[in-house]
Protein backbone atom coordinates (compact mmCIF):
# COMPACT_ATOMS: atom_id res chain seq x y z
CA UNK A 1 0.00 0.00 0.00
CA UNK A 2 1.12 3.54 -0.60
CA UNK A 3 -0.11 7.04 -0.77
CA UNK A 4 0.16 8.70 -4.20
CA UNK A 5 0.68 12.44 -4.42
CA UNK A 6 0.72 14.57 -7.54
CA UNK A 7 2.02 18.04 -6.87
CA UNK A 8 1.38 20.68 -9.55
CA UNK A 9 1.84 18.15 -12.37
CA UNK A 10 1.66 19.59 -15.88
CA UNK A 11 2.20 17.70 -19.13
CA UNK A 12 2.56 19.59 -22.40
CA UNK A 13 2.88 18.15 -25.90
CA UNK A 14 4.24 21.10 -27.94
CA UNK A 15 1.25 23.50 -27.97
CA UNK A 16 -1.21 21.11 -26.30
CA UNK A 17 -1.57 21.06 -22.52
CA UNK A 18 -2.75 17.54 -21.71
CA UNK A 19 -2.61 17.93 -17.92
CA UNK A 20 -2.64 21.33 -16.30
CA UNK A 21 -1.36 21.90 -12.77
CA UNK A 22 -2.83 18.71 -11.34
CA UNK A 23 -2.82 18.25 -7.58
CA UNK A 24 -3.98 14.87 -6.28
CA UNK A 25 -3.57 13.20 -2.94
CA UNK A 26 -4.62 9.56 -2.99
CA UNK A 27 -4.57 7.81 0.36
CA UNK A 28 -3.23 4.37 1.28
CA UNK A 29 -5.59 1.64 0.13
CA UNK A 30 -7.95 4.04 -1.57
CA UNK A 31 -9.79 3.21 -4.82
CA UNK A 32 -9.83 6.37 -6.91
CA UNK A 33 -11.38 6.62 -10.36
CA UNK A 34 -10.22 9.24 -12.83
CA UNK A 35 -13.20 10.08 -15.04
CA UNK A 36 -13.84 12.59 -17.76
CA UNK A 37 -14.63 12.85 -21.45
CA UNK A 38 -12.19 11.76 -24.16
CA UNK A 39 -9.07 13.93 -24.25
CA UNK A 40 -9.53 15.29 -20.73
CA UNK A 41 -6.08 14.08 -19.62
CA UNK A 42 -7.04 11.11 -17.44
CA UNK A 43 -4.85 8.58 -19.27
CA UNK A 44 -1.95 11.05 -19.42
CA UNK A 45 -2.27 11.55 -15.67
CA UNK A 46 -2.21 7.78 -15.20
CA UNK A 47 0.82 7.47 -17.49
CA UNK A 48 2.76 10.06 -15.53
CA UNK A 49 2.09 8.06 -12.35
CA UNK A 50 3.12 4.84 -14.10
CA UNK A 51 6.30 6.38 -15.52
CA UNK A 52 5.30 5.89 -19.15
CA UNK A 53 5.33 9.66 -19.61
CA UNK A 54 7.48 12.23 -17.85
CA UNK A 55 5.64 15.31 -16.60
CA UNK A 56 6.78 18.66 -17.99
CA UNK A 57 6.43 20.22 -14.54
CA UNK A 58 5.59 19.06 -11.05
CA UNK A 59 6.46 16.07 -8.88
CA UNK A 60 4.95 12.66 -8.18
CA UNK A 61 5.42 10.85 -4.88
CA UNK A 62 4.52 7.23 -4.19
CA UNK A 63 4.80 6.70 -0.47
CA UNK A 64 7.67 8.91 0.63
CA UNK A 65 9.64 8.46 -2.58
CA UNK A 66 9.84 11.07 -5.29
CA UNK A 67 9.32 8.90 -8.39
CA UNK A 68 9.04 11.73 -10.92
CA UNK A 69 12.21 10.71 -12.79
CA UNK A 70 12.27 7.00 -11.90
CA UNK A 71 11.63 4.32 -14.55
CA UNK A 72 8.38 2.32 -14.19
CA UNK A 73 10.13 -0.74 -12.75
CA UNK A 74 11.40 1.22 -9.75
CA UNK A 75 8.06 2.79 -8.81
CA UNK A 76 6.39 -0.19 -7.16
CA UNK A 77 3.39 0.04 -9.47
CA UNK A 78 1.69 -2.51 -11.71
CA UNK A 79 -0.62 -1.59 -14.52
CA UNK A 80 -3.52 -3.31 -16.28
CA UNK A 81 -4.07 -2.01 -19.79
CA UNK A 82 -7.22 -1.66 -21.85
CA UNK A 83 -5.85 -3.91 -24.63
CA UNK A 84 -5.03 -6.68 -22.08
CA UNK A 85 -1.68 -7.27 -23.89
CA UNK A 86 -1.11 -10.93 -23.07
CA UNK A 87 1.72 -12.72 -24.87
CA UNK A 88 -0.05 -15.06 -27.30
CA UNK A 89 2.82 -17.56 -27.40
CA UNK A 90 2.89 -17.98 -23.60
CA UNK A 91 0.42 -19.96 -21.54
CA UNK A 92 -1.44 -18.44 -18.57
CA UNK A 93 1.27 -19.45 -16.08
CA UNK A 94 4.00 -17.86 -18.21
CA UNK A 95 1.96 -14.72 -18.76
CA UNK A 96 1.25 -14.28 -15.06
CA UNK A 97 4.83 -14.98 -14.05
CA UNK A 98 6.36 -12.77 -16.78
CA UNK A 99 7.20 -9.85 -14.45
CA UNK A 100 8.66 -12.14 -11.80
CA UNK A 101 10.81 -14.02 -14.29
CA UNK A 102 12.00 -10.68 -15.66
CA UNK A 103 13.15 -9.81 -12.14
CA UNK A 104 14.86 -13.18 -11.65
CA UNK A 105 12.71 -14.51 -8.79
CA UNK A 106 13.42 -18.14 -7.90
CA UNK A 107 11.11 -20.83 -9.22
CA UNK A 108 9.53 -21.73 -5.87
CA UNK A 109 8.62 -18.12 -5.14
CA UNK A 110 7.20 -17.69 -8.64
CA UNK A 111 5.07 -20.83 -8.30
CA UNK A 112 3.78 -19.74 -4.90
CA UNK A 113 2.85 -16.24 -6.07
CA UNK A 114 1.27 -17.44 -9.33
CA UNK A 115 -0.87 -19.95 -7.42
CA UNK A 116 -1.97 -17.25 -4.97
CA UNK A 117 -2.81 -14.78 -7.76
CA UNK A 118 -4.66 -17.42 -9.78
CA UNK A 119 -6.64 -18.22 -6.66
CA UNK A 120 -7.57 -14.55 -6.13
CA UNK A 121 -8.81 -14.08 -9.71
CA UNK A 122 -10.32 -17.57 -9.85
CA UNK A 123 -8.13 -18.95 -12.61
CA UNK A 124 -7.11 -22.18 -10.85
CA UNK A 125 -6.85 -25.08 -13.27
CA UNK A 126 -6.34 -22.81 -16.27
CA UNK A 127 -2.64 -22.11 -15.88
CA UNK A 128 -1.61 -24.28 -18.81
CA UNK A 129 -4.07 -22.75 -21.26
CA UNK A 130 -3.09 -20.45 -24.11
CA UNK A 131 -4.64 -16.93 -24.17
CA UNK A 132 -6.63 -17.77 -27.32
CA UNK A 133 -8.40 -20.54 -25.39
CA UNK A 134 -9.74 -18.04 -22.84
CA UNK A 135 -12.79 -15.76 -22.91
CA UNK A 136 -12.37 -11.96 -22.78
CA UNK A 137 -13.12 -11.88 -19.06
CA UNK A 138 -10.66 -14.68 -18.34
CA UNK A 139 -7.97 -12.90 -20.37
CA UNK A 140 -8.58 -9.74 -18.39
CA UNK A 141 -8.29 -11.74 -15.17
CA UNK A 142 -4.93 -13.08 -16.37
CA UNK A 143 -3.80 -9.48 -16.91
CA UNK A 144 -4.98 -8.60 -13.40
CA UNK A 145 -3.23 -11.67 -11.95
CA UNK A 146 -0.05 -10.61 -13.76
CA UNK A 147 -0.28 -7.33 -11.86
CA UNK A 148 -1.17 -8.99 -8.52
CA UNK A 149 1.82 -11.37 -8.43
CA UNK A 150 4.22 -8.49 -8.12
CA UNK A 151 2.63 -7.27 -4.86
CA UNK A 152 2.79 -3.66 -6.07
CA UNK A 153 2.23 -0.69 -3.80
CA UNK A 154 -0.20 0.77 -6.30
CA UNK A 155 -2.41 -0.77 -8.99
CA UNK A 156 -3.01 1.33 -12.07
CA UNK A 157 -5.87 0.33 -14.32
CA UNK A 158 -6.42 2.07 -17.63
CA UNK A 159 -9.97 1.28 -18.79
CA UNK A 160 -9.42 -2.46 -18.22
CA UNK A 161 -13.05 -3.34 -18.87
CA UNK A 162 -13.61 -1.16 -21.93
CA UNK A 163 -13.19 -4.03 -24.42
CA UNK A 164 -15.55 -6.39 -22.63
CA UNK A 165 -19.25 -6.80 -23.37
CA UNK A 166 -21.79 -5.10 -21.09
CA UNK A 167 -22.71 -8.18 -19.04
CA UNK A 168 -19.11 -9.19 -18.46
CA UNK A 169 -18.22 -5.62 -17.57
CA UNK A 170 -20.81 -5.61 -14.78
CA UNK A 171 -19.48 -8.96 -13.53
CA UNK A 172 -15.86 -7.75 -13.63
CA UNK A 173 -16.85 -4.61 -11.72
CA UNK A 174 -17.89 -6.71 -8.76
CA UNK A 175 -14.76 -8.84 -9.18
CA UNK A 176 -12.59 -5.73 -8.96
CA UNK A 177 -14.43 -4.52 -5.87
CA UNK A 178 -13.89 -7.92 -4.24
CA UNK A 179 -10.23 -7.79 -5.26
CA UNK A 180 -9.81 -4.36 -3.72
CA UNK A 181 -11.33 -5.55 -0.45
CA UNK A 182 -9.13 -8.62 -0.46
CA UNK A 183 -5.84 -6.90 -1.32
CA UNK A 184 -6.55 -3.58 0.37
CA UNK A 185 -4.17 -1.91 -2.09
CA UNK A 186 -4.25 1.58 -3.54
CA UNK A 187 -5.99 1.42 -6.92
CA UNK A 188 -6.10 4.21 -9.46
CA UNK A 189 -8.59 3.45 -12.18
CA UNK A 190 -9.17 5.37 -15.40
CA UNK A 191 -12.55 5.14 -17.03
CA UNK A 192 -14.97 7.21 -19.07
CA UNK A 193 -17.81 4.99 -17.83
CA UNK A 194 -19.35 6.80 -14.90
CA UNK A 195 -21.26 3.68 -13.79
CA UNK A 196 -17.89 2.03 -13.13
CA UNK A 197 -16.68 5.10 -11.29
CA UNK A 198 -19.83 5.45 -9.19
CA UNK A 199 -20.02 1.80 -8.18
CA UNK A 200 -16.38 0.95 -7.50
CA UNK A 201 -14.52 3.95 -6.20
CA UNK A 202 -14.00 5.46 -2.78
CA UNK A 203 -13.49 8.80 -4.50
CA UNK A 204 -14.00 10.05 -8.04
CA UNK A 205 -11.64 12.57 -9.63
CA UNK A 206 -13.50 14.35 -12.42
CA UNK A 207 -11.23 15.84 -15.08
CA UNK A 208 -11.97 18.21 -17.92
CA UNK A 209 -9.55 19.81 -20.39
CA UNK A 210 -6.58 18.60 -18.37
CA UNK A 211 -7.80 20.16 -15.14
CA UNK A 212 -9.14 18.52 -12.01
CA UNK A 213 -12.72 19.66 -11.48
CA UNK A 214 -13.62 17.77 -8.31
CA UNK A 215 -12.37 14.85 -6.24
CA UNK A 216 -14.92 13.51 -3.79
CA UNK A 217 -16.87 10.36 -2.91
CA UNK A 218 -19.28 9.36 -5.71
CA UNK A 219 -22.43 10.54 -3.97
CA UNK A 220 -20.87 13.91 -3.11
CA UNK A 221 -19.98 14.39 -6.79
CA UNK A 222 -23.55 13.43 -7.66
CA UNK A 223 -25.35 15.48 -5.03
CA UNK A 224 -22.99 18.39 -4.61
CA UNK A 225 -21.17 18.93 -7.90
CA UNK A 226 -18.63 21.68 -7.65
CA UNK A 227 -19.51 23.13 -11.03
CA UNK A 228 -21.81 22.75 -13.99
CA UNK A 229 -19.40 20.44 -15.84
CA UNK A 230 -19.36 17.89 -13.02
CA UNK A 231 -23.15 18.21 -12.63
CA UNK A 232 -23.63 17.45 -16.32
CA UNK A 233 -21.03 14.71 -16.50
CA UNK A 234 -21.95 12.69 -13.42
CA UNK A 235 -25.35 11.05 -13.63
CA UNK A 236 -27.08 9.29 -16.48
CA UNK A 237 -29.16 10.68 -18.03
CA UNK A 238 -27.60 14.10 -17.51
CA UNK A 239 -28.91 16.86 -15.31
CA UNK A 240 -31.36 19.30 -16.91
CA UNK A 241 -30.12 22.88 -17.14
CA UNK A 242 -32.40 25.90 -17.57
CA UNK A 243 -31.07 29.44 -17.81
CA UNK A 244 -32.64 32.07 -15.59
CA UNK A 245 -32.25 35.40 -13.82
CA UNK A 246 -32.20 36.08 -10.11
CA UNK A 247 -35.19 38.17 -9.01
CA UNK A 248 -36.32 39.44 -5.57
CA UNK A 249 -38.00 36.18 -4.61
CA UNK A 250 -36.04 33.50 -6.47
CA UNK A 251 -35.08 32.65 -10.01
CA UNK A 252 -37.14 33.43 -13.06
CA UNK A 253 -36.74 31.44 -16.27
CA UNK A 254 -38.58 31.89 -19.57
CA UNK A 255 -41.13 29.29 -18.55
CA UNK A 256 -41.36 29.04 -14.77
CA UNK A 257 -40.20 30.51 -11.49
CA UNK A 258 -38.48 28.92 -8.52
CA UNK A 259 -39.16 30.74 -5.28
CA UNK A 260 -36.56 31.18 -2.54
CA UNK A 261 -34.76 33.96 -0.75
CA UNK A 262 -31.67 34.91 -2.81
CA UNK A 263 -30.23 36.67 0.24
CA UNK A 264 -29.62 33.16 1.61
CA UNK A 265 -26.83 32.74 -0.95
CA UNK A 266 -24.11 35.32 -0.24
CA UNK A 267 -22.58 35.26 -3.74
CA UNK A 268 -25.94 35.86 -5.41
CA UNK A 269 -27.49 39.22 -6.25
CA UNK A 270 -30.71 40.23 -7.95
CA UNK A 271 -30.11 40.47 -11.71
CA UNK A 272 -27.45 37.74 -11.82
CA UNK A 273 -27.74 35.14 -14.55
CA UNK A 274 -27.77 31.59 -13.25
CA UNK A 275 -28.16 28.08 -14.62
CA UNK A 276 -30.73 26.10 -12.76
CA UNK A 277 -29.96 22.38 -12.62
CA UNK A 278 -32.38 19.59 -11.80
CA UNK A 279 -31.90 15.84 -12.28
CA UNK A 280 -34.56 13.89 -14.25
CA UNK A 281 -35.58 11.90 -11.16
CA UNK A 282 -36.33 15.14 -9.30
CA UNK A 283 -38.94 16.27 -11.83
CA UNK A 284 -42.32 14.89 -10.75
CA UNK A 285 -45.53 14.38 -12.66
CA UNK A 286 -48.26 16.15 -10.66
CA UNK A 287 -50.70 13.23 -11.17
CA UNK A 288 -48.25 10.88 -9.52
CA UNK A 289 -47.53 12.63 -6.24
CA UNK A 290 -49.69 12.78 -3.16
CA UNK A 291 -49.27 16.46 -2.35
CA UNK A 292 -48.27 18.57 -5.37
CA UNK A 293 -48.58 21.67 -3.23
CA UNK A 294 -46.03 20.53 -0.66
CA UNK A 295 -43.74 23.42 0.31
CA UNK A 296 -40.55 21.80 -1.03
CA UNK A 297 -42.02 21.66 -4.54
CA UNK A 298 -42.21 24.44 -7.13
CA UNK A 299 -45.44 25.75 -8.59
CA UNK A 300 -46.91 23.61 -11.34
CA UNK A 301 -45.25 23.92 -14.74
CA UNK A 302 -47.30 23.33 -17.89
CA UNK A 303 -45.39 21.17 -20.32
CA UNK A 304 -46.07 18.95 -23.30
CA UNK A 305 -44.59 15.48 -23.55
CA UNK A 306 -42.45 14.84 -26.60
CA UNK A 307 -40.40 11.67 -26.95
CA UNK A 308 -40.76 8.74 -24.54
CA UNK A 309 -37.91 6.32 -23.94
CA UNK A 310 -39.05 3.18 -22.09
CA UNK A 311 -35.97 1.66 -20.42
CA UNK A 312 -37.68 -1.23 -18.64
CA UNK A 313 -37.19 -0.10 -15.05
CA UNK A 314 -38.09 3.52 -15.84
CA UNK A 315 -39.31 5.73 -18.66
CA UNK A 316 -37.46 8.82 -19.78
CA UNK A 317 -39.90 11.50 -20.88
CA UNK A 318 -38.75 14.53 -22.84
CA UNK A 319 -40.87 17.53 -21.92
CA UNK A 320 -41.27 20.62 -24.05
CA UNK A 321 -41.45 23.82 -22.06
CA UNK A 322 -42.56 26.08 -24.92
CA UNK A 323 -46.21 25.77 -25.87
CA UNK A 324 -45.61 26.21 -29.58
CA UNK A 325 -42.39 24.24 -29.65
CA UNK A 326 -42.49 21.79 -32.56
CA UNK A 327 -39.59 19.55 -31.73
CA UNK A 328 -36.84 19.45 -29.18
CA UNK A 329 -34.49 16.96 -30.74
CA UNK A 330 -33.68 18.50 -34.09
CA UNK A 331 -33.96 22.23 -33.64
CA UNK A 332 -33.66 22.96 -29.99
CA UNK A 333 -31.15 20.47 -28.61
CA UNK A 334 -31.70 20.49 -24.85
CA UNK A 335 -32.81 24.14 -24.76
CA UNK A 336 -36.45 24.61 -23.87
CA UNK A 337 -36.93 21.08 -22.69
CA UNK A 338 -36.71 18.98 -19.55
CA UNK A 339 -36.01 15.32 -19.17
CA UNK A 340 -38.12 13.52 -16.58
CA UNK A 341 -37.78 9.98 -15.29
CA UNK A 342 -40.96 8.15 -14.28
CA UNK A 343 -41.80 4.62 -13.15
CA UNK A 344 -42.63 2.11 -15.92
CA UNK A 345 -46.28 1.78 -14.80
CA UNK A 346 -46.93 5.51 -15.45
CA UNK A 347 -49.69 6.07 -17.96
CA UNK A 348 -48.24 8.71 -20.22
CA UNK A 349 -48.08 9.28 -23.95
CA UNK A 350 -46.23 11.52 -26.33
CA UNK A 351 -47.74 14.88 -27.32
CA UNK A 352 -49.80 15.11 -24.14
CA UNK A 353 -50.23 18.24 -21.97
CA UNK A 354 -49.18 17.54 -18.39
CA UNK A 355 -48.22 19.43 -15.23
CA UNK A 356 -44.93 18.80 -13.52
CA UNK A 357 -43.25 20.16 -10.38
CA UNK A 358 -39.60 20.35 -9.43
CA UNK A 359 -38.19 19.36 -6.06
CA UNK A 360 -36.68 22.62 -4.79
CA UNK A 361 -34.51 20.76 -2.30
CA UNK A 362 -32.81 19.10 -5.28
CA UNK A 363 -32.38 22.18 -7.44
CA UNK A 364 -28.78 23.26 -8.07
CA UNK A 365 -27.79 26.78 -9.00
CA UNK A 366 -24.69 27.52 -11.08
CA UNK A 367 -23.14 30.82 -12.06
CA UNK A 368 -23.84 31.12 -15.79
CA UNK A 369 -20.55 32.91 -16.46
CA UNK A 370 -18.15 30.70 -14.50
CA UNK A 371 -20.17 27.51 -14.11
CA UNK A 372 -19.33 27.41 -10.38
CA UNK A 373 -21.98 25.92 -8.09
CA UNK A 374 -23.80 28.50 -6.00
CA UNK A 375 -26.26 26.30 -4.11
CA UNK A 376 -27.40 22.69 -3.85
CA UNK A 377 -31.04 22.75 -2.87
CA UNK A 378 -32.98 25.97 -2.47
CA UNK A 379 -35.98 24.72 -0.47
CA UNK A 380 -34.46 25.57 2.90
CA UNK A 381 -33.61 29.10 1.77
CA UNK A 382 -37.23 30.16 1.83
CA UNK A 383 -37.91 29.70 5.50
CA UNK A 384 -41.19 28.01 4.75
CA UNK A 385 -40.50 25.01 6.87
CA UNK A 386 -39.53 22.35 4.38
CA UNK A 387 -37.25 19.96 6.20
CA UNK A 388 -34.90 18.07 3.90
CA UNK A 389 -35.50 14.34 4.07
CA UNK A 390 -32.79 11.98 5.33
CA UNK A 391 -29.94 11.87 2.80
CA UNK A 392 -31.21 14.91 1.03
CA UNK A 393 -28.71 17.54 -0.02
CA UNK A 394 -28.38 20.55 2.18
CA UNK A 395 -27.75 24.00 0.88
CA UNK A 396 -24.25 25.46 0.55
CA UNK A 397 -25.25 28.60 2.28
CA UNK B 1 30.75 23.46 -101.60
CA UNK B 2 30.70 26.66 -99.53
CA UNK B 3 27.78 25.39 -97.52
CA UNK B 4 29.65 22.42 -95.97
CA UNK B 5 31.32 24.49 -93.19
CA UNK B 6 27.98 26.13 -92.53
CA UNK B 7 26.29 22.75 -92.12
CA UNK B 8 29.16 21.63 -89.92
CA UNK B 9 29.00 24.72 -87.72
CA UNK B 10 25.21 24.49 -87.58
CA UNK B 11 25.36 20.81 -86.58
CA UNK B 12 27.93 21.50 -83.89
CA UNK B 13 25.84 24.44 -82.63
CA UNK B 14 22.75 22.21 -82.38
CA UNK B 15 24.75 19.52 -80.59
CA UNK B 16 26.28 22.17 -78.30
CA UNK B 17 22.85 23.60 -77.50
CA UNK B 18 21.44 20.25 -76.50
CA UNK B 19 24.60 19.36 -74.55
CA UNK B 20 24.34 22.58 -72.54
CA UNK B 21 20.56 22.15 -72.28
CA UNK B 22 21.05 18.66 -70.89
CA UNK B 23 23.56 19.82 -68.32
CA UNK B 24 21.37 22.77 -67.25
CA UNK B 25 18.29 20.54 -67.03
CA UNK B 26 20.19 17.98 -65.00
CA UNK B 27 21.45 20.72 -62.65
CA UNK B 28 17.91 22.01 -62.21
CA UNK B 29 16.54 18.49 -61.68
CA UNK B 30 19.28 17.88 -59.15
CA UNK B 31 18.39 21.08 -57.32
CA UNK B 32 14.60 20.83 -57.52
CA UNK B 33 13.85 17.12 -57.58
CA UNK B 34 16.68 14.74 -56.81
CA UNK B 35 18.21 16.45 -53.77
CA UNK B 36 14.83 17.33 -52.15
CA UNK B 37 13.70 13.77 -52.84
CA UNK B 38 16.78 12.35 -51.16
CA UNK B 39 16.40 14.76 -48.24
CA UNK B 40 12.74 13.77 -47.87
CA UNK B 41 13.70 10.10 -47.96
CA UNK B 42 16.30 10.56 -45.23
CA UNK B 43 13.94 12.67 -43.14
CA UNK B 44 11.23 10.00 -43.40
CA UNK B 45 13.69 7.25 -42.60
CA UNK B 46 15.00 9.18 -39.60
CA UNK B 47 11.45 9.87 -38.38
CA UNK B 48 10.45 6.22 -38.79
CA UNK B 49 13.55 5.13 -36.90
CA UNK B 50 12.79 7.61 -34.13
CA UNK B 51 9.15 6.48 -34.00
CA UNK B 52 10.03 2.81 -33.86
CA UNK B 53 12.67 3.54 -31.22
CA UNK B 54 10.06 5.48 -29.22
CA UNK B 55 7.58 2.63 -29.66
CA UNK B 56 10.20 0.09 -28.57
CA UNK B 57 11.04 2.16 -25.49
CA UNK B 58 7.34 2.54 -24.70
CA UNK B 59 6.81 -1.23 -25.00
CA UNK B 60 9.83 -1.79 -22.80
CA UNK B 61 8.44 0.61 -20.19
CA UNK B 62 5.00 -1.04 -20.41
CA UNK B 63 6.59 -4.45 -19.84
CA UNK B 64 8.17 -3.09 -16.69
CA UNK B 65 4.62 -2.59 -15.44
CA UNK B 66 3.49 -6.21 -16.10
Is pLDDT larger for residue A5 or for residue A337? A5
Q: Give the nearest partner residue to B61 out of A52, A102, A147, using CB atoms.
A: A52
Average pLDDT over residues A255-280: 90
pLDDT at A383: 39
Q: Do B65 and A85 touch (CB under 8 A)?
A: no
- Residue A390 burial (CB count, 10 A): 5
CA-CA distances (angstroms) from residue B53 to A73, A238, B46?
19, 44, 10
Q: Give the nearest partner residue to B64 out of A73, A147, A156, using CB atoms.
A: A73
Q: Give the nearest partner residue to A71 out of B58, B64, B66, using CB atoms.
A: B64
Average pLDDT over residues A29-43: 93
In angstroms, the CA A50 to CA A32 distance is 15
Q: Do A81 and B62 touch (CB under 8 A)?
A: yes
Residues of chain B where predicted confidence (pLDDT) is lower than 70:
none
Q: Do A52 and B65 touch (CB under 8 A)?
A: yes
Q: Does A146 touch chain B (CB under 8 A)?
A: yes
CA distance to partner chain B, nearest, from residue A152 (Å): 10
* Interval A143-183: pLDDT, tens: 989 988 988 999 999 998 887 788 878 888 888 898 898 88
Q: Do B61 and A102 touch (CB under 8 A)?
A: no
Search chain B and give the residue with CA nearest A147: B66
- The pair phi, psi for residue B50, each rounded to 5°, is -65, -40
Q: How confident is the model at residue A203 (pLDDT cuts 50, 70, 90)?
A: very high
Of residues A161, A148, A177, A172, the one with CA closest to residue A81? A161
Residues of A in contact with B64 (CB under 8 A): 51, 71-73, 102
CATH 3.40.50.300 location in chain A: 4-227
CA distance to partner chain B, nearest, from residue A11 (Å): 17
CA distance to partner chain B, nearest, from residue A155 (Å): 10
ipTM score of complex: 0.71
Q: Give the nearest partner residue to B61 out of A71, A85, A102, using CB atoms.
A: A71
* Candidate CATH numbers 3.30.2270.10, 3.40.50.300, 1.10.3720.10, 3.10.20.30; the one for domain A4-227: 3.40.50.300
Stated as kind and residue range, the H or E segment containing B61 is helix B35-64
Q: How confident is the model at residue A14 (pLDDT cuts 50, 70, 90)?
A: confident
pLDDT at A379: 79
pLDDT at A323: 63
Best probe of the A interface among B55, B62, B66, by most A CBs < 10 A, is B66
Q: Do B66 and A51 touch (CB under 8 A)?
A: no
Write out the residues of chain B at the interface with chain A, using a CB-CB cutoff of 8 A. 58, 61-66
Q: Do A52 and B63 touch (CB under 8 A)?
A: no
Q: Does A78 touch chain B (CB under 8 A)?
A: yes
pLDDT at A391: 37
pLDDT at A386: 38
Amino acid sequence: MARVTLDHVTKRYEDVVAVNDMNLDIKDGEFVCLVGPSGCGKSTTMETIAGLTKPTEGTIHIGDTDVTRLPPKDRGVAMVFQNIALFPHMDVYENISFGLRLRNYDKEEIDRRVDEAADVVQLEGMLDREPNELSGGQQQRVAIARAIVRNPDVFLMDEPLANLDAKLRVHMRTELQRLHKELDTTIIYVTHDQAEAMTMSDRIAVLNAGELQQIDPPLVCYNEPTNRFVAGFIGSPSMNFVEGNVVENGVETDNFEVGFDPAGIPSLAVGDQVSLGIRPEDVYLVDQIEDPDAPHLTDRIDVRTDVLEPMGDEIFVYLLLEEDQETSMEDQGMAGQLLMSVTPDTEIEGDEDVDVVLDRSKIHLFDTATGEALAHGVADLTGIGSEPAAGEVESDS
Amino acid sequence: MDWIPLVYVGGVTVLFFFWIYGIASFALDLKNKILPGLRQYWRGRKRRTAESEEEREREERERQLY
